Structure 1
Amino acid sequence: MVAGEASGDLLAGLVLDGMRARWPALQASGIGGPQMGQRGFQALWPSDKLAVHGYSMEVVRRLRELFAIRRQLRERFLRERPDVFIGVDAPDFNLGLETALKAAKVPTVHFVCPSIWAWRANRVEKIRAAADHVLCIFPFEPALLAQHGINATYVGHPLANVIPLVPDKAAARRQLGLADGDQVVAILPGSRKSEVRYLASRFFAAAALMQKAHPAIKFVVPAVPNLRSEIDAMAAACGMAGRLQIVAGQSHTVLAACDVTLIASGTATLEAALFKRPMVIAYNMHWLSWQLMRRKQLQPWVGLPNILCRDFVVPELLQDAATPEALAAAVLFWLDDQASGSAKIAAIEKTFTALHHELKRDTALLATDAIEKVIHRS
């Protein structure tokens, strides 16, 4: 298995649970993180090695190392010939590795369909060459892949099983030392170093503006442990040192506790939707990466909740639009709406509850069933 970043590590961990329940003597190795390690996975490299972002020089500098890792994995797996290879997300890394393994008759499964419905539709041919089977986390994806002759199974989104249908807001607040009556804003500037660099200062500057308008607002930032020093430094640079509650990890607790979240576009936005929280989605990246991404975009939405609902149910402020002033105004709109008892918050909660039911499946079982069929066909 190869899983990239924290989200891939979580997904892979859940699949490992299903596989180990069916095959107690399972041996799994490759690239993984702490969730996989807790399940007996042998990580030859840590998953954060694959945490790269965009198209700019920040990625180019890492290419030699990433190519070397992929070459070593390919040689190892071709030599050992595992019963199955499972690439979890990280398509830029995994599809190339899967293609080489599939050509050598090693069964390959790709977990999480690349977002060919959002951008980079040209990846369809790469997926067909790389994967014997694709495990899809969104219900519309298998039919789309079938049009291109790619076998796929909808397994639900694992996060829909991890996150409760009715989050316990009061318990989460007690865990974080927050009062029931507090106005709480969760700030999630991303889990990658490059995301934090481009977004955290904007988010913290927006928090300063919000606190100036409403001094009682509490801000909580769940920080990826290895990025804590960067987050602390950016908070200080924005004059927010000591005015943000920065916690190690605990993103789910923070999302359960908050009234609204200011959040980087990515998997975390779906987590926020499953917690039924209103949000403001933002993103900013290197200008060259942004130009390239815009040209590949196939839909008007970027945030996963909006893509899945086929509507702008929550605001998106991207690139130059993601100014501290605009971010602060959008978050304060939600807080004011909640304070006034408007029906918009209730409507958002209803929409996100329906989405939660649609995504809730026995992912570990369905994924393991599909993997077993791939192995038997081989």
Structure 2
Amino acid sequence: MNPRIGMVAGEPSGDLLAARVIQGIRKGAPGSVCEGIGGPGMERAGFKAWHPMDALTVFGYVDAIKRLPGLLSTYLNVKRRWLGDRPDVFVGIDAPDFNLRLEHQLKQAGVPTVHFVGPSIWAWRYERIHKIRAAVSHMLVLFPFEEEIYRKEGVPVTYVGHPLASVIPIEPDQAAARNWLGVDQDARVLAILPGSRRSEIRLLAPRFLQAARILAQQDPELQFLVPMVNGRRRAEFEAILRQHPLRNCRIIDRQAGPAGASGQPDAADADAADAAHADRGARPPAWNVMEAADAVLAASGTATLEAALFKRPMVISYVLSGAMRRIMAWKSGQSRPYVPWVGLPNVLARDFVVPELLQDDATPQKLAEASWRALSDHAYAAQVGERFRIMHESLQRDTPALAAQAILAEAGRG
């Protein structure tokens, strides 16, 4: 069986997930063809990209409106191609606004559809379940509590675990991460992650930097590491940093090689070191930063789950503009989520394991106080780390194999 598989991923996180799934598909069906819209990780796994992932990457409602003509053109192009030459199965990775529409059209035409990463109906707009049921032949979910939701609603579902739980080690290696980044092993380090969207940088970075300045008064030797996803976000952050200058602050992006390496290892050690360095160089910059840090101050999002998998105590924050809050309330009919938590680690734990400082509570003083506890209270940090260890183990599954098995089963029915 050599199925043709249509795929669409529209975010860096989706590219990472899809790349591993493609690897699983290739193991189960070596002659399979995966094509559609994707990113560099998918292409490295053998994906044939008709359109780059950036064609779907938007940052908020305003950006979506501005880019609507291009988004519509891309949507119509892939829909026409797949309806004209139907794949054996279609897989939409996240990007629900785009993918669920496409999945509905393809399913009506007889193409089995798989959606990977369930929309957060447990937090916002539960009524979307009716649209999902009409559009999706099989749902693949990342979190164990989601399986019960979809099964109850009559949507075929498989809990595949979160692939990050198998990639990020159970035991973080802080010393190796610090060696890679050239950070003193005895330093106290705070990772600052103000988000990957322009609006997040604009609204969160000033508060985070002001909080960091308060912390620097308490510990003048405190080190700050700020990972950036791309040059555009880095430039935006640097402009804000000039307004709020901070000692001992380093911005980290893709590194070409290890920092601070010295000595002449023997051949065997050199080979092992080269492999380790290649692995660290291929990682997202935020992973090395979080592994090197003692604590994390982060915008709510996937980064908070990554910080939890690295067993780091953290402070989660988020701020929406007044206009964005009104748009979200109008679109969802809700002023707040169904659940009392916003950060993924707390949602999974069903508890406020780490603090969430949102909207008016996201003041520099409160952010600094919560971050200082994460940095200085070692008993608290150990307790949080143990909760995250249990969470990590619950999310570990052979995600590529489980996802590939479900996708290839649907392809066989197509």
TM-score category (smaller protein): over 0.9
The answer for the alignment partner of 1:95 in structure 2 is 100
1:310 positional shift: 0.4
Q: Distance in 2 between matches of 1:161 and 1:4?
A: 22
Paired amino acid for 1:266: G
1:331 to 366, 371, 385: 371
1:139–1:154 Cα contact (<8 Å) kept: yes
2:321 to 286, 291, 296: 286
For the pair 1:361 / 2:367, whether they are aligned, the reply is no
| Unmatched segments (≥5 aa) in structure 1 | none
Q: What do residues 14-37 of structure 1 show as CA deviations (whole Å, max 9, x unaligned)? A: 101101112222222222111112
For the pair 1:347 / 2:386, whether they are aligned, the reply is no
Q: Distance in 1 between matches of 2:322 and 2:37?
A: 31
1:309 to 346, 349, 361: 349
Q: Distance in 1 between matches of 2:370 and 2:336?
A: 27
The answer for the alignment partner of 2:280 in structure 1 is none
State the identity as a percent. Answer: 51
Paired amino acid for 2:308: A
**SS at the partner of 1:28?**
strand
1:280–1:314 Cα contact (<8 Å) kept: yes
Paired amino acid for 2:119: P
1:164 positional shift: 0.4
Paired amino acid for 2:401: L
Paired amino acid for 1:364: P
Report 1:1-378 matches (<5 A).
Answer: 1-55=7-61, 57-226=62-231, 227-240=233-246, 243-248=248-253, 249-291=284-326, 292-293=328-329, 295=335, 297-338=337-378, 343-378=379-414
Paired amino acid for 1:318: L
| Unmatched segments (≥5 aa) in structure 2 | 1-6, 254-283
TM-score, length basis structure 1: 0.94
Q: Distance in 2 between matches of 1:199 and 1:350?
A: 29
Structure number, greater radius of gyration:
2
1:296 positional shift: 5.2
1:142–1:151 Cα contact (<8 Å) kept: no
Q: Distance in 2 between matches of 1:147 and 1:94?
A: 23
189-198 or 367-376, larger mean C-alpha shift: 189-198
1:325 positional shift: 2.0
1:372 positional shift: 1.5
TM-score, length basis structure 2: 0.86
1:6–1:48 Cα contact (<8 Å) kept: no
Paired amino acid for 1:368: A
Paired amino acid for 1:229: A
Superposition RMSD on alpha carbons, in Å?
1.5
Q: Distance in 1 between matches of 2:56 and 2:244?
A: 30
Paired amino acid for 1:373: A
